[in-house]
Structure formats: structure tokens, C-alpha cells
Chains A and B, each alone.
Chain A
Amino acid sequence: MFSLLRINTVTGKAEKEDHDSLEFVLGGRTLSSHLVSEEVPADCDPFGKKSKLFFCNGSMAGTTVSSGGRLSIGAKSPLTGGIKESNAGGIVGMRMAQQGLRCIALEDAPDTDSTWKVIVIGKDTTEMIDGSFLTGKGVYEKSDLLSEKFGKKAGCITIGPAAENLLFASGIACSDPHGVCSRYAGRGGLGAVMASKKVIAIVILDDGEVKPEPVDQEKFKTGSKKIVDMLKENPVSSLFTKYGTAAMVDICQELNVLPTRNFTQGTMEGAEQINAQTMYDTIEERGGEGRTKHACMHPCAIMCSNIYPDKDGKLLCSPIEYETMALMGSNLCLKNLDTIGMMNKIANDAGVDTLDCGAAIGVAMEAGLAEFGDDQAAIDFMNEILNLTPLGRILGSGCKIAAQVLGVRHAPHVLGQAIPAYEPRGTKGMAMTYLSTPMGADHTFGFTLRDEEDPTSKEGKVELSKKFQVIGSRMDAMGMCNFVRYSVRHDMTPLLELIKAKFGVEVTAEEFDNMVKKTLRIEHQFNRDAGITLQDHRFADSFYQVAQPETGEKIDITDEETEQAMQW
């Protein structure tokens, strides 16, 4: 049996329910999308009383299995108007498991003038306490205050000032293993959904006593070790350990898909100044608190995260990921990792998505509010968001709204969510994925780039995107880190054997993939019920009209092809 803790945010009443369906066995996105689909009216106001917010850990949370502690957060997105699943690393998933929880559901919504609350979940009680001590503060300060009050080992979930003001690009921050709320479920404006419930933080105390008790202890232990061995032996995983996702800068530059100058180009002269090698060398050279080979959750054998230090070796930002390096770097023609690190730090403090805000700043630069390549202007834009100035509120609402307000037609988004760090005209596989996911433009949903023989051709890309939509969704489906997929891409057996050893539930590879496809189906159905049409699954018209300079390519994917990639 798996516990779902329902909390009414108006009355404070907390009730536990037990469930044993396969959705609850798997947890992760399988469960969060199932619950959103079943319990949230698709046509509701994402900030209204009928909207709900779900926090689900995965099937391996709280165990010794490497990289199994992702926290999946689901709700109706104010940014896309459709279903949203965004997930984060950190320790919250593990703390939930130690409290015997598979899911926490925030329900109902108090009046907007109600006071802010902190929900504290311990082994004996769940209570809502006054949250005014956190109001208006940045995420770093909130994180310190929560650690002071509840201990560094508590699993904390909080939001920034951007979310408190219902900005659509606001995310949800979760505790990392050091007790800092730096692990973001950044996409889709879920921070604002949490804020609409007047919940400023959720704390899962470190007093949980539920131990993982596998049905077959011996097989679970062997299976868990096997995953670690596979990750360590896999050459791709081991390179992640050294360079992290930053390695993509060089790859994308070479393939002409590095977003540059508000997605008008696919290469940036001087890109090597912000590549993985430069970041690695800088971190090594500066020393101090800087780290490569850093784990965002425990246990993790991949350790792809990093701590980027300032010139004095003090922590500037942790982590800096490729997507941020591109959207807040090359997309703005910035060639300084310290600038990107500073922007990322401010984004984390404001509690906003680095992708949507990076894209919004690109739009602002195209509108002439600053020059591309102006480091100080880019940092100033981020401070506008942190300080909630009128311009900051526009940028913190994501690139679609920023483009509408600033009169920019080349707005890099699908369904209102900013395009991640792969120029779609240069990679038609990724373009197909962006167009056909139910989440708005999202690279993790079907990462085709490394498997495209001819990235600029759309031939075969419906099938390729669909293939990787399944592969990519498998890890989300059970709360595993996406990077485990390299080790189980051709054979899910090691993970399915762990599910059997842990719960005594046998799931075949076919049944598992059917579950993944069912999740995709219900996500698309939710969006249709919410009023999203095929015509919403398009890029801005300029991507179809103007060729990318390096490849001469435009988007030539038709609505019919997009629809085919959405059929499950």
C-alpha cells in the first residue's frame, strides 16, 4: 500500500489514503499525470479552488538504488494552459519515502488575502503554521531560515518572490543534500500554482521511520548494486561525471543548433569560452568550494552536478546546466561563465525558470532594450525579475508574454513554454519533439539529437521522436534520473527486476511501455479538454518563414505530422 497525503489548504485538514494501483507502485510522472488527469478539471483556473498540486516520489525513492530520488510535481500549468509535470533532484523524494508517503496533494485555495502558510509533515502530525517569516524573501534566505527552524536534514520545498506574485515562469525549489533549496522543478509555472494555495513552503521532517523493506531483500541488494555497476561501466555516464550536461555546448555548436541571438542563429563565435572544458578548468583552477563530480541526490553514481565558484573560490551557483548556459549564454551572445553563473544565481533566488527567463531576455534584447552580448544588462534584467519591477514581472512571465508585450514576433516557444537549448530548424527531430509534447517545448521528452543521421531533414522524424518520447519518458515514469536511461535504453530488465524485488509486482517491459504510452495519452487528452488545439502546437511563424543562416533550413513540419507524433 502507498500513502497519499491530501492537505486542504483552506482548512488545514490532512488526510491519508492508501492505494495499491500500478500508478502508485511506479510513482513519478506516471502518478502525477494520472492524478492531475483524474482529479483536476481540465478547464479550471490553474490558480483556482479546483486546481490541485501533486508531489510524487518514485518507486525507488528512499532506497539504495542510485539516482532514484527524483520528485515529480504535477498540476495544470498557468504557462501552457495544459497539463504539466516538472521534476527535480534533491532529498525531498527520499524524506517523503521515510515518512511512508508516495504523494502529497495540495487541494483547494484560500482567498488571496489569506496569510502564507508552511506545511510541516512529521511522523506524528501534519500541520500548517504561519509562514510570514518567509514572505517576500529570496529562495536562498528562505532556505537558510527553513534550515535554521527545521534542521538542515529536513526536506524542504519552497518558492521565490516571483511565484509569490504569480509570475508564470516561476518554479519550485527543493532541498539538495546540503540543505539548500537549489534543485528546481523549474518549468511551467508550478511555483505560482503553489503560491495560489498560499503555501510558501512544505517541510518534510527528518524524523521518518519507514524503512524500505523489499519483498526480496537479497535480489533487491544485488539489483541495486547492478545499477551502480552499469552506471559506472557506461562510458556516457562516466563522462557526465566529469563534464555534466555542459558537454552539449560543443556538440550543439558543431551541429549548428546552439541557440544564439534569440534563436536566430545556431552557432556562436567564441562558444568555447562557455563550454564544458572551460567550465571544468575554471572550477579546478579556482578550487575553494568549487566542485565537479557533485551529486544532487543520494545515492547517485552519476554525479553530473557541479558547484561553480566565483573568483575567490566561494560558491557562486550550483548547479550550472547546459540548458542555462545556452539560454542565458549563447542565446544572449554572452561569453562569460561568471555572468551566466550570476544570472543563474539570481534566477534561483527569484525562483524562476532559467530557460524561460533566458528566452525572455533574448526577446527583450531583440526588442532593443539592450544589446546582445551586454553582460551587465543581462544581469540587470535578472535583478529586475528578482526585484519585481514592471519589466521584471514581464520577463518573469516567460518569453511568450515578454514577446507579446515587447512586440517581438520571433518568440521561441511552443504552447507558451520556451524552447530548450537546441535550435529547432537545425534539428528536425528535436523540433518534432518540441511540437508534439503535451508539456510545451521540452527536450527531455524525446531527445533525438544524438540519433539523427540528417538533423536538417524531417524524414523519419515522427517515428524517431516517438521512439525517444517513450525512452525519455521511462525514467520520469518511475522517478528515476533521466541519465540512467543510457544504461537501460535497450533493456529495462534491471529496473523492472528491482520493482519486482521491492514490491513483489511483476511488470514486463511491454506492460511498462504501455503504461508510459497511457500517460502520454492522458496528458494529451487533458490538453484537448483544456481547449488546446493542434494549431497551438506550432512555433512562431518566423521559424517557418526565415531560414536559419547556418543550415538554410526553416521549419517544414506540418500539423498533420505533429498530430502523428502525438498519437499513442
Chain B
Amino acid sequence: MVKITFKMSDLGTVEVELDQARQLSQLLEEIYLNAGEKMGGIIAVRDGKVINFDDLVEVDDEITIFPALSGG
């Protein structure tokens, strides 16, 4: 079970059953489609490291998605 937590978003925490690793972009697309809403520019973090859209998400991963903001 992949657990994806969307911070500062109404999407909240979403759990997705996976048989095999999938690209983050595909996973997000599916979640956005089901929820009927989308989070724009994002930073995806797994184990303290940023992952990209084309990175593979493994079946037991926990991923946190943040809005891609910066300090000023």
C-alpha cells in the first residue's frame, strides 16, 4: 500500500494499492482524476529526499507532497 499525504491541500492522505512500482506522475494523475481536483506545482518527498515525476514509486512507499513554495 502506497501512502501519499498532500500537505496544505484538501486532498489529505490517499492510500493506493499497487502490484508493482509505478511512476509518480501516473500515480498522481490517477489520484487527481478520482478526487476531481489537482495540486499544482509540487515537491514530492520520500525518506527526506525529493523525487521527480518520472521516479518509480515502490509498493510500500510513503510520500509527502508539498506545494512548491519558497521562502522570501
Contacts and interface: CB of A to CB of B under 8 A. Distances in A.
14 contacts: A235-B41, A235-B67, A243-B67, A247-B66, A251-B69, A254-B48, A255-B48, A304-B72, A322-B71, A420-B71, A444-B72, A449-B70, A450-B43, A456-B49
B71 A323 contact: yes
Interface in A246-264: 247-248, 250-251, 254-256
B68 interface: yes
Contacts of B41: 234-236, 486
A8 interface: no
Given A250-B66, A486-B41, 15 more contacts: A234-B41, A236-B67, A239-B69, A243-B8, A245-B72, A251-B45, A251-B66, A276-B8, A321-B72, A323-B72, A420-B71, A450-B50, A453-B49, A483-B70, A550-B48
Interface in A408-463: 420-422, 443-444, 447, 449-450, 452-456
A238 interface: yes
A135 interface: no
Contact of B69 (A247, A256, A420, A453): A247
A512 interface: no
B69 A240 contact: yes
Contacts, number: 88
A282 interface: no
Main secondary structure, interface of A, reads helix
A551 B48 contact: yes
A277 interface: yes
Nearest to B39: A235
The 10 residue pairs across chains A and B that have the minimum distance between CB atoms = A235-B40, A236-B41, A239-B67, A247-B69, A322-B71, A251-B66, A245-B72, A254-B45, A248-B71, A447-B70
Contact of A483 (B39, B43, B66, B72): B72
Interface of B: 7-8, 38-41, 43, 45, 48-52, 64, 66-72
Contact of B49 (A234, A242, A455, A486): A455
Counting chain A CB atoms within 10 Å of each CB, which of B7, B8, B39, B70 scores highest? Answer: B70
A196 B4 CA distance: 55
B63 to A, nearest CB: 10
Contacts of B70: 245, 248, 443, 447, 449-450, 483
Contacts of A248: 69-71
Contacts of A482: 72
A224 to B, nearest CB: 22
Contacts of B68: 236, 450
Interface residues of A, number: 40
B8 A239 contact: yes
Contacts of A486: 41
B64 A245 contact: no
Given A245-B72, A322-B71, A234 B8 contact: no
Interface in A302-329: 304, 321-323
A239 B51 CA distance: 21
A453 B50 contact: yes
A114 B16 CA distance: 72
A277 B7 CA distance: 9
Contacts of A421: 71
A243 B48 CA distance: 22
Nearest to A486: B41
Contact of A254 (B51, B52, B66, B69): B66
A334 B45 CA distance: 25
B3 to A, nearest CB: 14
B29 to A, nearest CB: 15
Interface in A372-429: 420-422
Contacts of B51: 453
Nearest to B67: A239
A443 B71 contact: yes
A250 B72 contact: no
Contacts of A276: 8
Nearest to A319: B72
Interface in A501-551: 550-551
A255 B69 contact: no
Nearest to B70: A447
A245 B50 contact: no
A238 B51 CA distance: 23
A548 B64 CA distance: 22
